[in-house]
Amino acid sequence: METPRHFPYGFIDREIISQAAIDARVKELGKEITQDYKDSERLLLLGLLRGSVVFLTDLMREIKRPITMDFMSVSSYNKSESSGFVRIDSDHKTNIRGWDVILIDDIVDSGYTIRTVRKLLLDREPRSLKVCALLDKPERHKVDIHIDYLGFSIPDYFVVGYGLDYDEKGRNLPYIAAIDLQKGEE
Ligand code: IMP
Ligand code: MG
């Protein structure tokens, strides 16, 4: 496959989830969330920067309920491996006490990010807290994580596109592609 010009490395392996498949799944998740929160007056979509931005902005338009959005920025990654230490770089602004919160991330890998942020948010006494992720790599989990709304489960590939990056590149690809890190290091 020819490397698209908006990704500067020569090691995009292959498209694993098409734009059409993402679009269809996001619509389904939006419907499900709309139904589940039909009685909620205070629904907050809380995205983790920066990877969840593309997913969150598409998903929110499929939720036919009043919503608020907010963001937190966390980091734990060196290019492609979690360090296990999840650092909160910037916090959300909304006081979530009494809110129905959906924590949104791009992908669950080791699970450390979701576990750490979930614990922190629970301390802040939301009315409810659920987890939504576009992608999950179950083979990579190091801790037990429950994902309430999941886009797709994938094998242990490193992926870019639709918000996900490798070294900050590739977020603007409209589909999900697996990259071969060994090829890139040659
Ligand atoms: P965890 O804490 O190991 O579950 O990692 C979650 C975070 O790692 C995600 O929010 C992503 O930012 C990043 N990440 C994990 N796997 C990938 C991948 O395949 N592509 C891009 N980012 C990834
Ligand atoms: Mg992330």
172 found inside a domain: no
Of ligand 1's listed atoms, the one at least distance from the Cα of 86 is: 2
Q: Exposed (0-12), middle (13-18) or buried (19+): which is 9, by Cβ within 10 Å?
A: middle
Checking if the pLDDT of 186 tops 50, the result is no
Out of 58, 105, 109, 165, the active site residue is 109
Neighbours of ion ligand 2 (CB under 5 A): 51
Q: For the chain, give the percent of residues with pLDDT over 90.
A: 80
* Total of domains in the chain: 1
Per-residue pLDDT band for 83 (boundaries 50, 70, 90) equals confident
Per-residue pLDDT band for 3 (boundaries 50, 70, 90) equals low
24 found inside a domain: yes
pLDDT digits (tens, 9 = 90+) for 68-80: 999 999 988 665 6
Q: Which domain holds residue 136?
A: 19-76+87-154
Considering the chain, what is the average pLDDT of its residues? 92
Pocket test of ligand 1: the residue of 80, 105, 107, 110 to mutate, having most ligand atoms within 8 Å of its CB, is: 107
Residue 4 DSSP label: P
171 found inside a domain: no
| Model pLDDT, residue 5 | 63
182 found inside a domain: no
12 found inside a domain: no
How far apart, in Å, do the first and last CA atoms of the chain sit? 18
Of ligand 1's listed atoms, the one at least distance from the Cα of 116 is: 2
| Model pLDDT, residue 77 | 67
| Model pLDDT, residue 6 | 65
47 found inside a domain: yes
pLDDT digits (tens, 9 = 90+) for 26-66: 999 999 999 999 999 999 999 999 999 999 999 999 999 99
67 found inside a domain: yes
pLDDT digits (tens, 9 = 90+) for 85-113: 899 999 999 999 999 999 999 999 999 99
Dihedral Cα 175, 171, 182, 86, nearest 10 deg: -120
Checking if the pLDDT of 185 tops 60, the result is no
DSSP H stretches of helix in the chain? 19-36, 53-60, 112-123, 181-185
159 found inside a domain: no
In Å, what is the CA distance from 174 to each residue of 5, 62, 153, 184? 13, 18, 18, 21
**CA–CA gap between residue 144 and residue 134 (Å, rounded):** 18
Q: Give Cβ neighbours of residue 97 (< 8 Å, ≥ 6 apart).
A: 124, 125, 126
**CA–CA gap between residue 11 and residue 180 (Å, rounded):** 6
Q: Residues enclosing ligand 1, CB less than 6 A? A: 48, 51, 76-77, 82, 105-113, 158-159, 164-165
- Average pLDDT for 157-177: 93
Residue 122, domain CATH: 3.40.50.2020
